[in-house]
Structure 1
């Protein structure tokens, strides 16, 4: 099909990823509840860290940044999914679709960057406990965070930049929202080149951040061997929060990536389920991990409950 005689002007896309979903209203309500809980839980973390001066430390600034990323991650896709399943709104305009695609992939990239920096923060805190606050100040943490947002935006700008000039032959999105794969499949061109281009970028970021996290923990493990039993317990408790968060994000990502590279053809329902789970899972788990396993935040929540009890 040539783009010269088959292309069309697209003003909106039709979301077709839920056509075979059973009990769509029930699924939509569940996703709505999860989305509301996720946003509220992350907002609680952000508000506590901003208004509690005792939490104005590099580690908590990084937790705050992660909460912002999680809100963006879920909010980039959830309204569309909920609109389709609950309200029956199955269309999205062209420009909002590209904005959603950019926000979705920006949040996914920033999630990896944020987890990598948090791993380095833990390594620095354990290896240089007496000089930690001199090396990693609040100002340096903020500059590093802003820099990562700029770098991530530059990487992700490739997504809409490669899609927007292409002619479109279809208006139905195969998947559940405007991710890159769904939008590129509506064009009139062979998608293989564009998939490979973005796969290289994404693979580079994925491998770089995961390798950085692994190297940080190799350093931590080396230091643990040199520590006393009491120090080992403290180090383990400090790192466990981050390891849980890392696992929740990277495990689904690697499952999807490896299955795709191995040529395993997933059903539409399975792919959509993995994609939605990889977005909602980490964003829902992260705030509760840091709320209930971080002493300062947990104590603050306990005091609030005691006041209203």
Structure 2
């Protein structure tokens, strides 16, 4: 039996021999990472330097884009090193650090999208009272809570995993995953499973109820309101709805590939499914919000090309 103090490193067995193609994969992943960083940083700068965008909706977008930079940085540099490496190992402390980064990223993304749905609900259902209900202080508190609660919840998850006695150190993924480590345990994992199931269920159910409630109220206002109200609702909610759908697809792929036996699926496809959850939002959101929201789109053009 190998206990957790004796496991100094983990082996990532999902990498496969690519030969000379590893340099092509390296360039593709590097290009994707550079694009994600540039796109998210550009939108953060545009929102921060333009006072006309210092509104609750855009401040929540800044939090969303910062979180995507955070999640991407927890994944892509590690992937780039592993692609060029011939020995796919990672030290135990770094592995748990990466788990913390990736799990807090995913949790925070969900919290932020739920808070943004509440913001859209206030803007459409209570337009005259919006700025009194969604003050700057309230925005700051909501953003702080999304970052704090996600960090606390994931910290408890990791603190329960670190002391586990492990019977091996081979993880069948391309990055560190807490559930994969728990499956290696030869000690009792009931506390881990109970906490993980309870925490995930309460979080998912609670936030889904909030999102569904806000959009039911928005739909009610749209059907009973004027054409102008419907147009405003569509223009402001379309990017958010698209981001939510994309996030749920990524979450579904992540659950399928991590919880079910995927040995019959080619390794390449399994890796793509596992990476989609961590790359879909950082890649998709800047494009969606940058292209769909006319105010951001015009300010991006002015920042890049100068005043027309």
TM-score scaled by length of structure 1: 0.89
Q: Please name the residue that 1:208 is paired with.
A: 206
**How far did 1:209 drift?**
1.7
Are residues 15 and 255 of structure 1, via their aligned partners in 2, closer, same or farther at CA, if it must alter by over 3 Å?
A: closer
Alignment gaps of 5+ in structure 1: none
Q: Please name the residue that 1:48 is paired with.
A: 46
Contact 1:120 1:216 in 2 (8 A): yes
Are residues 9 and 21 of structure 1, via their aligned partners in 2, closer, same or farther at CA, if it must alter by over 3 Å?
A: same
Are residues 308 and 126 of structure 1, via their aligned partners in 2, closer, same or farther at CA, if it must alter by over 3 Å?
A: closer
Which of 114, 125, 132 is the aligned partner of 1:127? Answer: 125
Q: Please name the residue that 2:280 is paired with.
A: 281
Tell me the distance in 1 between the aligned counterparts of 2:180 and 2:30.
22
Matches within 5 A, 1:1-309: 2=1, 9-19=6-16, 23-88=21-86, 90-189=88-187, 194-195=192-193, 197-257=195-255, 265=262, 267=265, 268-307=267-306
Alignment gaps of 5+ in structure 2: none
Tell me the distance in 2 between the aligned counterparts of 1:265 and 1:191.
23
Contact 1:8 1:168 in 2 (8 A): no
**Count of matched residue pairs:** 305
* Cα root mean square deviation, aligned: 2.5
Contact 2:11 2:171 in 1 (8 A): yes
Moved more, 212-221 or 14-23: 14-23
Are residues 269 and 197 of structure 1, via their aligned partners in 2, closer, same or farther at CA, if it must alter by over 3 Å?
A: farther
Contact 1:83 1:89 in 2 (8 A): no
Are residues 305 and 213 of structure 1, via their aligned partners in 2, closer, same or farther at CA, if it must alter by over 3 Å?
A: same
TM-score scaled by length of structure 2: 0.89
Tell me the distance in 2 between the aligned counterparts of 1:193 and 1:21.
40
Contact 2:4 2:162 in 1 (8 A): no
List per-residue Cα deviations over 1:208-265 (Å, max 9, x = no partner).
222321211111000001112232122111110101111111122134436877x564
Moved more, 201-210 or 14-23: 14-23
**How far did 1:306 drift?**
3.3
Tell me the distance in 2 between the aligned counterparts of 1:131 and 1:74.
37
Are residues 191 and 20 of structure 1, via their aligned partners in 2, closer, same or farther at CA, if it must alter by over 3 Å?
A: farther
